[in-house]
Amino acid sequence: MNQVTVMIHPSKLVAHRGYQAKYPENTALSLTRAIEAGALFIELDIQFSRDQLPVIYHDTDLQRVSGRSGSVLTMSRAELLDCSAYEPQRLSDTFIGEKISPLEALVDILVANPEVTAFVELKEESIEHCGRALIIASVQEILQPVAERTVLMSFDYPLAIAARQAGWPQVGVVLQSWDDLSNAQVILARPDYIYTNYTNIPDDCDLTSIQALNDTVLVTYEVATQELGQQLLARHVDMLETFEIESMQSP
């Protein structure tokens, strides 16, 4: 008998850095293509420039994504927005015309796609560079028009607490370790979403028995295959973050 593959519904999937499998990560192109492929949830990373303005970018070093030397933290945003974001080692020169985007580009994308929610990960290097207060204030001001459909999250638990205390509608934390489910700062943040690498979850763990997960949504990453995704969903993981947003939905 042939095994029947059950489609994973888009409401269970998060497009990790957009449609990263086919397009350069964290670009407006990648985010838009993920939505066109059916994504209802997208995730992106935010770093801050030398002049303390937010750009959609994962690394501080420019080499991997932009194919050049330098650091996001030591260049002005105007300079960064003129840099390509094309992942040359992975994707050659195919997307060399794609540029780094400002955070404001996310607002345009969400306004054009009112069914989509975005997870906005604020990176630790920029928190150290700018301070939590400036980052929260900057991001809140820019994202206010789409506040109800953006989740501010970070590995930095105090930043998540600050976002909660500032009244942001939805907040998330990325666990540094599985044991941090009982961390006082994580509890204080009252996260709407908890992210973790799926490999952090103990094999013998019954997720339904963990009180800290009762009032939150558990998202695991990086989930590259439907088989793994179905296994995690069967264990009561709530959502799956993936570079493979299209193939994860295919029946």
The per-residue pLDDT for range 204-241, each reduced to its tens digit, is 999 999 999 999 999 999 999 999 999 999 999 999 99
Burial environment of residue 60 by CB neighbours within 10 A (0 to 12, 13 to 18, 19 or more):
middle
CB 195 within 8 A of CB 174: yes
Instruction: Tell me the average pLDDT across 114-126.
Output: 99
Taking the whole predicted model, whether its pTM rises above 0.85 is answered as yes
Structure token pair of residue 130:
């700018």
Beta-carbon count within 10 A of 80 CB: 24
Q: Is the pLDDT of residue 2 over 60?
A: no
Beta partners for 193? Answer: 172, 217
Q: Tell me the average pLDDT of the chain.
A: 97
Token pair, residue 2, equals: 């042939």
Give 17-31 pLDDT, tens digit per residue. 999 999 999 999 999
CB atoms within 10 A of CB 251: 8
H or E element that contains 218 = strand 217-221
> Which domains does the chain possess?
10-60+106-249 (3.20.20.190)
Q: Is the pLDDT of residue 66 over 90?
A: yes
